[in-house]
Structure 1
């Protein structure tokens, strides 16, 4: 978790703030440097601002520590999108806190299952381990996704 001297605050974010926009831009740039364009499924700012998506930001001592989003796929299913922890907050529990927050939000709105797509290359191993530790299991592609050597698909029943 973040240092005991600085509490973590997770809040709904309209994505209008410069720190949030910069972290999302850095996330997209990083994803595109790792995966081929056709295998990069991270949402850009416009995608994150769709009515079916809600985004949250995590803050420590007034500094942006991470972002995460929940997309409503249908009445009972959601997809985790754009989970990203700022580089200087990695390994501090921000990612786990955001993941738990998104799972709680999904339950709150009545979702019964969550889905996600993440990368398959070594850079994504920490994310895969985080999701597995929270009860996500690998699955086949869902929605409009197709089998892709650069993607890992996971789901969790709520």
Structure 2
């Protein structure tokens, strides 16, 4: 069965479980003070849209777009369960985030990821994101890698 993507509420039990797995993974790689998680409640705020990837009923991945202004959006909570990594799930989620940002007229997408995530770096770089200095209100940290991408207006 092909993986499907849809905008869904993060407040569902199976999405909460996925986000808990993401948080556990991130805390194994970075100290807590260097992890900038949105909670599922924050992910449910009106400024955030969440895409959920499913194989049938099973949740296999997610990603979110958080809007900071009329011009800037942030890619957040990108995660694919390990058994699904390498199959294009993250690439598809990122594509949906970028397409939505473009339709909304956002000019720039930014993100923060950890210094121990080379697979994430490859995903973002293949999608045209470029490394940059700290974005938004993130501190300059040796545990963080920052990216941005300029979008064309819709």
Q: TM-score range by the shorter chain?
A: over 0.9
- How many residues matched? 151
In the alignment, structure 1 residue 138 sits paired with structure 2 residue 131: yes
How far residue 79 of structure 1 moved from its aligned partner, in angstroms, is 0.1
Q: Return 5+ residue gaps in structure 1 as ranges.
A: 1-5
TM-score by length of 1: 0.91
SS of 2:33's equivalent in the other structure is helix
1:102, 1:116 → 2: CA distance?
A: 12
How far residue 74 of structure 1 moved from its aligned partner, in angstroms, is 0.4
The answer on whether the counterparts of 2:11 and 2:41 sit within 8 Å (CA) in structure 1 is no
In the alignment, structure 1 residue 24 sits paired with structure 2 residue 23: no
Question: Which residue, out of 73, 87, 100, partners 1:92?
Answer: 87
Query: What are the equivalent positions in structure 2 for 1:63-78 lying under 5 Å apart?
Result: 63-78=58-73
How far residue 78 of structure 1 moved from its aligned partner, in angstroms, is 0.1
Residues 104-150 of structure 1, C-alpha deviations (whole Å, 9 max, x = no match): 111111111100000012xx000001100000000111111111000
Q: Which moves more between the two structures, 35-44 or 133-142? A: 35-44
- Show the counterpart of 1:125: 118
Q: Return 5+ residue gaps in structure 2 as ranges.
A: none
Query: What are the equivalent positions in structure 2 for 1:100-111 lying under 5 Å apart?
Result: 100-111=95-106
1:104, 1:59 → 2: CA distance?
A: 19
Query: What are the equivalent positions in structure 2 for 1:31-50 lying under 5 Å apart?
Result: 31-50=26-45
SS of 2:140's equivalent in the other structure is coil
1:130, 1:42 → 2: CA distance?
A: 20
In the alignment, structure 1 residue 10 sits paired with structure 2 residue 5: yes
Structure 1's consecutive aligned runs of 4 or more residues displaced over 6 angstroms after TM superposition are: none
The answer on whether the counterparts of 1:31 and 1:42 sit within 8 Å (CA) in structure 2 is no
What's the Cα RMSD here?
Answer: 1.1
